[in-house]
Amino acid sequence: MSWIQHNWALLLPLVLGACGVWLMMPGAKSIRPLGGLACLGALILGFQLVAGERNISGSMFVLFSTACLVSAVLMITSRNPVYAALWFAVVTLSVCGLFLLQSAPFLAAASIIVYAGAVIVTFLFVIMLAQQSGTSSYDQSSRQPFCASVTAFTLLGLLLITFQSWSHQQVRSANHDKQSAAAMAALDMTVAAPTDHFHRSSRPLPTEELGQLRGLGRSLFTDFLFAVEIGGTLLLIASIGAIALAPRRAQGTL
Amino acid sequence: MNGSIQPTLLVSAALFALGAIGFLTRRNLILMILSAEMMLHGVALSMVTFSKYHGNNEGQVFTIFILTVAACEAGLALALILSLYHRTKSLDMDLWSALREDDMPSPVDHDSTAGHALPNTHPVQPTLTPAGIPLDPKTPLNPQRLTREEDATHV
């Protein structure tokens, strides 16, 4: 019980979020405005958990993560699959914004090209081919929404508790460190001391920034060369499998 | 920053959980696959965050591999969805609930559905033998085939 009293700031947004998502799920028991209000409250309370920085990057983070989470909730609760695919595009765009804030510009561009450019368009094609009559009865109900919300938010709570204890450990080990400069660097969470259990060429050179295309390519084609080859083989096998699985024209394509 | 959670990790964990809810509850095949892609987004975001935390490019390289696997998954999933749609003329996942094990209850939530009277248009699906139930050694594994052989011997 004392644990609950100690951690209510973590538990309250989780419970609110679970109730909100459960109320917004399609089905007979859904009350969408109330669920939306609960989700918004959970979002605002959840932002109290993280250390807010009052600068441009902090406000950009709040903007992108709010857009990301709100459109994620709207995607999994929307009654129309076309709207769900469009909300997924918004999720992708805001995740790419978060990638940019985490100094990964190449990944942001690649994700926009792959997801928003290719995946969403093909999914929309399939939706429009298969569901010409708009909404259908199976989009108006959902399977066990209460159990699924409770399960997923329990998982989220366990992840957050793990992250929290992990950052507590970081702070404690940094305090134990005699060298105060290294401790400050570890607290700042941007610069870490080079350790031996990383590959050497994955570390950016002193002249490079993190996530620059040059360093990324060097890491990709020296340390992870076999993984790149396996990834290429996987793409080839997946394309062969997709051609083999898709219905033939003789059977009637759709 | 005193012992507080890294904010991007919180967003990535929340994305993963929301994608899990979507995958578990939605009945549309395409929305299930889209929710799985959203879970992949969450994992990629945490990978990029760890990459920045360690000042190392490895997390971003892993995210490139996540993108590759997600592209493969989307292609295969769409081919599968098309062939399933070809059989049932519907994107409803619950039409395939006959593939579950015999001792499991039906996943369909009948009381919460308003207009749930979809015709079951697909032919008889193969059923799985229930796992964990020891077979009686006297009963044959495939009774239909054995009876046919008995018939053949009788003739």
Please give the mean pLDDT across all residues of chain A.
81
Q: Do B7 and A251 touch (CB under 8 A)?
A: no
The CATH number of B7-101, from 1.10.1060.10, 3.40.50.150, 2.40.50.140, 1.10.287.3510, is: 1.10.287.3510
How far is Cα of residue A223 from the mean position of the Cα atoms in its chain? Answer: 26
Q: Do B61 and A220 touch (CB under 8 A)?
A: yes
Q: How far is A181 from chain B (nearest CA, A)?
A: 16
B96/A contact by beta carbon, under 8 A: no
For residues A70-91, give the mean pLDDT: 91
Respond yes or no on whether ipTM tops 0.90: no
Query: Which residues in chain A have Cβ-Cβ distances shorter than 8 Å to B76?
Result: 238, 241-242, 245
User: pLDDT per residue over A208-238, tens digit each?
Assistant: 777 788 888 888 898 899 999 999 999 999 9
Report the C-alpha gap between B132 and B127 in whole angstroms. 15
The CATH number of A56-141, from 3.40.50.2300, 3.40.50.300, 3.40.50.720, 1.20.120.1200, is: 1.20.120.1200
* Least CB–CB distance from B74: residue in A51, A122, A245: A122
Instruction: Spell out the per-residue pLDDT of chain B, length 155, in tens.
Output: 344 668 889 999 999 999 999 999 988 888 999 999 999 999 999 999 999 888 888 889 999 999 999 999 999 999 998 888 888 888 888 888 777 777 777 766 554 444 444 445 555 666 676 677 666 666 555 555 444 444 444 44
User: pLDDT per residue over A151-195, tens digit each?
Assistant: 999 999 999 888 888 877 777 776 665 455 555 555 555 544 455
Extents of the domains making up chain B? 7-101
B20/A contact by beta carbon, under 8 A: yes
Q: Do B68 and A151 touch (CB under 8 A)?
A: no
Q: How far is A238 from chain B (nearest CA, A)?
A: 6
Q: Do B25 and A164 touch (CB under 8 A)?
A: no
Q: Please spell the DSSP secondary structure of B15-63, one letter per residue.
A: HHHHHHHHHHH--BHHHHHHHHHHHHHHHHHHHHHHHHHHT-SHHHHHH
Q: How far is B130 from chain A (nearest CA, A)?
A: 23
